[in-house]
Amino acid sequence: MDQHTQLPKVGMVGGGQLARMTHQATIALGQSLRVLAESETDGAALVAADVQIGSHTDLDALRAFAKDCDAVTFDHEHVPGEHIRALAAEGVNVQPSADALIYAQDKRAMRERLTELGAPVPRWAPVGSLADVEAFGLPCVLKATRGGYDGKGVWVVSTADEAAEVVAGGVGLIAEEKVELARELSAVVARSPFGQVAAYPVVETVQRDGICVEVIAPAPGLSEDLGAQAQRLAVSLAGELGVTGIMAVELFETADGRILVNELAMRPHNSGHWTIEGARTSQFEQHLRGVLDYPLGETALTAKWVVMANVLGGEPGGMRVDERLHHLMAGDPGAKVHLYGKAVRPGRKIGHVTVLGDDLDGLRARAQAAAIWLRDGVGHIEH
C-alpha cells in the first residue's frame, strides 16, 4: 500500500516495453508501478518513478523489490520458479503463481498439462536424442523447452543431420508435427484470483521470420464457431492452470479448420497491444486489475477494425527516429505511435503503431506504411 495515496503498489519484474506500458496504465489507477530493471536504460526504467536495478535471477534482489508491494507480477517468463515459490512462502503476493507460470516457462510442461486436459495441441513428444527425433518422424519442428522467443529456440528440421545438429546443442527439446497452417491467431484473456475471467476478441497475428509484425482485431473472416471455441479454450485454460492477470493463448488455425495451441504467455502480450486504443480496457490495465483482484474491465472493441504493426529497428544511418516520427505524424495524423525508449538495432522491436476504423484494407496499408517508414525512413505514408 502506498503511504501517500493509500492505493496499492504493484511491482513488475522486468523493465521492458511491457512494464513501460503497464506503468502508463498504473498511473490512471492512481498508482505508480515499481519496476525491477536490469539496467537504468531499460524502457520502463526510463519512465517510472520507482525503479530498482537488479537481476530477476537474484533472490535477494527479488525480496528487496517485493517489500511493501501489494502484488508482484512479471514482464517476462524468466524468473526461476523456485524464487517465486520462496517469495510466496515468505508472504509475497505473487501473481501469477509459480504453479501457473511454469506452463508459460516450460514448453514440455505446457504440452504435458494441455494433453492431460484434452486441449487441442499439435502431435508432440519429448525428445532427448536423435533416435527420439527419428522415432517421432521427420520432418518435424524442434523446440527448446525453455527460453525461446521471436522465433529463437524453434527449428524446422527435415533431415537426420539437421536434427542431430539441434540435439547436439544440448538444450531440452520437444518435437512437434509441422502443422499445415492457415494462419496464426491469439486469444487473450484475463483472470483474477477471485476467478473472474474476461476475454478479448480473438485476433490474427501475422509473423515474418518468426517475429510478429502485425495484429488484426478481430481476426478477419474467423467463423463465429471457431472464434467462440478459441475464447472458450483460453477461458478454460486460464481456470485450469490457475492463471492470474493476462494470458495470451497463441493458436494455429489449421488448413482444415481446427485450432491448436501453440504457446502460452502469462503477461501482457504483443498480440494485445492493439487494446490500448482498440478496446475499452487495455490489456495493461486488465493485467493490473487481474493481479490486484480488482473486477475486470470491458473488453469490447472501440472500432470495427483495429490493426497494430510492430516497428522494428532499421539499418543505421539516415533520418533520426524523431524526424521519421515528424513525417509520419504529418502524413497520418490519426496513427497512434508507441515507442519503447530503446536504442535502435536492426530487427529489434522498438515500438508499434495502431490504427482503427472501418476499412480493413486501408488500415492494414496505413499500419504497414507507418511501421516501414519508422523503420527505414522511406516509402509512402498512407492515409
Indicate the annotated binding residues for ATP: 107, 143, 176-179, 184, 262-263
Q: Which is nearer to its own copies, 128 or 195 (CB)?
A: 195
Give Cα 7 distance to the centre of its chain.
27
Nearer to its own copies, 25 or 94 (CB): 25
336 binds its own copies (CB under 8 A): yes
Q: Does 334 bind its own copies (CB under 8 A)?
A: yes
80 burial type by CB count under 10 A (0-12 exposed, 13-18 middle, 19+ buried): middle
Query: In 3D, which of 240, 246, 231 has the Cα closest to residue 296?
Result: 246
**Cis before residue 346, ω within 30 degrees of 0?**
no
Q: Which stretch binds its own copies (CB under 8 A): 25-33, 212-220, 267-275, 358-366?
A: 25-33
- Residue with Cβ nearer its own copies (39 or 256): 39
- Using CB under 8 A as the binding rule, whether residue 366 contacts its own copies is answered as no
CA pair distance 263, 46, nearest whole angstrom? 30
Residues within window 224-283 making contact with its own copies, judged by CB under 8 A: 280-281
Residue type at position 280: R
Nearer to its own copies, 21 or 238 (CB): 21
Tell me the closest approach of the beta carbon of residue 275 to its own copies, in angstroms.
12
Beta-bridge partners for 59: none
Angstrom distance (rounded) from CA 317 to CA 376: 9
CB burial of residue 359 (10 Å; 0-12, 13-18, 19+): exposed
> Contact between 7 and its own copies (CB under 8 A)?
yes
User: Least distance in Å: CB of 340 to its own copies?
Assistant: 7
Out of 86, 294, 360, 365, the residue judged to bind its own copies by CB under 8 A: 294
CA–CA distance, 195 with 295 (Å, rounded to integer): 10
Q: Give the torsion sign (CA, 33, 87, 270, 197).
A: negative
Interface ranges with its own copies (CB under 8 A): 4-8, 20-21, 23-24, 26-32, 41, 45-49, 51, 280-281, 289, 294-298, 300, 302-303, 320-322, 325-326, 329-330, 333-334, 336-344, 351
